[in-house]
């Protein structure tokens, strides 16, 4: 991850909108649940059933809907969709790591694969033929994209090998094309795709688990 930066509540409200109630100078370094939040964390309430946790939270600030604007004395941002707002703040406080362009010496790139000059391919990654890796994409160590020839598979059981092939084929076929600024990390059983889109363009969390 890139170095984390402190923001005050006023800066967050100016960036993403919403009505700010309370001390605009409240410093925020991370997002957290109501239960685990501490003084430098911001949390949110999206449903009335969480109001009891709101009353006990140690968060420095919270994000709430208009109907809960008076449910706490904590510094707070009032908005139409607390969950989406929280996701934007999460992306702000947890920026993606800078991509170091290039292909690791232990990575395998099949003939016919296209890799942008600014993309990063991690150690032990496999890029199948006809895969197209876009500018700014970051492929994590050990990730498989496309269908790897059976002769190149590690010595694992037939069952695991078949499952791994299904995962790779279902999520990223040999014709896969990654968008710009996409980060992929994975193992045999788990593969995660993260597309880092400017937060103002996407009211959701930046990371989408596929499996």
The structure tokens 């991850």 sit at 1
At 191, is the pLDDT very low, low, confident or very high (cuts 50, 70, 90)? very low
Q: Looking at the structure, do residues 77 and 133 belong to the same domain, yes or no? A: no
User: Is residue 1 in some structural domain?
Assistant: no
Which helix (H) or strand (E) segment holds residue 182: the answer is strand 182-186
**How far, in whole angstroms, is CA 71 from its chain's centroid?**
30
How far is the C-alpha of 118 from the C-alpha of 178, rounded, in Å?
A: 13
Distance (Å, whole) CA 100 – CA 121: 9
d(CA 161, CA 144): 13
111 and 65 inside one domain:
no
**The pLDDT of residue 192:** 45
Round to whole Å and give the CA distance between 178 and 138: 10
Asked whether the predicted pLDDT for residue 200 surpasses 70, the reply is no
Provide φ and ψ at 31, rounded to 5°: -95, 155
CA distance 167 to 187: 10
Segment 186-198 mean pLDDT = 42
3-state SS of 78-121 is ECCCHHHHHHHHHHHHCCCCCCCCEECCCCEECCCCEECCCCEE
Residue 110 sits in the same domain as residue 88: no
When pLDDT is averaged across residues 186-207 and rounded to a whole number, the result is 38
pLDDT of residue 131: 84
Same domain, 54 and 118: no
Q: Which residue has the higher pLDDT, 31 or 192?
A: 31
Q: What does the pLDDT look like over 162-183, one tens digit per residue?
A: 433 333 333 444 445 555 555 5
Task: Check whether residue 122 and residue 203 sit in a common domain.
Answer: yes
| Boundary-marking domain end, from 93, 110, 144 | 93
Mean pLDDT over residues 191-207, rounded?
Answer: 37
The answer to whether residue 121 sits within a structural domain is: yes
How many percent of the chain have pLDDT more than 90? 42
**Per the domain annotation, does 177 fall within a domain?**
yes
Q: What is the mean pLDDT of residues 32-50?
A: 94
- Considering just the CA atoms, what is the radius of gyration of the chain in Å? 21
Query: Does pLDDT of 83 surpass 90?
Result: yes
Interval 124-130 mean pLDDT: 84
Say what the pLDDT of residue 73 is.
Answer: 96
The pLDDT assigned to 188 comes to 40
CATH at residue 14: 3.40.1390.10
What's the total number of domains in the chain? 2
Q: What is the mean pLDDT of residues 178-206?
A: 43
Residues 113, 176 within the same domain? yes
The three-state secondary structure class of 76 is strand
| Residue 108 sits in the same domain as residue 189 | yes
Both 13 and 83 in one domain: the answer is yes
Give the range among 19-23, 130-134, 184-188 with minimum mean pLDDT.
184-188
Q: Does 112 share its domain with 59?
A: no
Mean pLDDT of 16-43: 96
pLDDT: which is higher, 84 or 158: 84
168: in domain: yes
Domain range enclosing 55: 7-93
Between 189 and 101, the more confident residue is: 101
CA angle, corner 71, sides to 67 and 76, nearest 5? 85
pLDDT in tens, 62-81: 999 999 999 999 999 999 99
Structural domain ending residue among the three candidates 93, 123, 139:
93
Domain match, 120 and 80 both: no
Written as six digits, the tokens of 149 are: 């020839």
Q: Burial, 5: exposed, middle or buried (Cβ in 10 Å; 0-12, 13-18, 19+)?
A: exposed
80 & 113 share domain: no
């Amino acid at each position: 991850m890139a170095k984390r930066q402190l923001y005050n509540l006023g800066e967050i409200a100016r960036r993403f909108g919403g009505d700010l109630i309370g001390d605009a100078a409240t410093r925020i370094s991370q997002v957290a649940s109501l239960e685990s939040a501490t003084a430098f964390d911001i949390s949110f309430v999206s449903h009335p059933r969480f109001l009891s946790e709101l009353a006990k939270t140690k968060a420095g600030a919270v994000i709430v809907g208009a109907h809960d604007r008076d449910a706490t004395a904590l510094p707070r941002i009032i908005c139409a969709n607390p969950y989406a707002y929280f996701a934007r703040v999460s992306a702000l406080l947890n920026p993606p790591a800078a991509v170091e362009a290039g292909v690791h010496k232990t990575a395998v790139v099949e003939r016919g694969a296209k890799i942008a000059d600014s993309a990063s391919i991690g150690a032990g990654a496999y890029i199948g033929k006809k895969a197209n890796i876009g500018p700014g994409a970051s492929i994590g160590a050990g990730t498989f994209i496309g269908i790897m020839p059976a002769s190149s598979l590690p010595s694992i059981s037939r069952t695991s090998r078949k499952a791994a092939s299904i995962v790779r084929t279902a999520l990223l076929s040999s014709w896969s094309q990654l968008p710009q600024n996409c980060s992929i990390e994975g193992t045999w059983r788990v593969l995660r795709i993260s597309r880092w889109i400017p937060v103002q363009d996407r009211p959701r969390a930046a990371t989408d688990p596929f499996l």
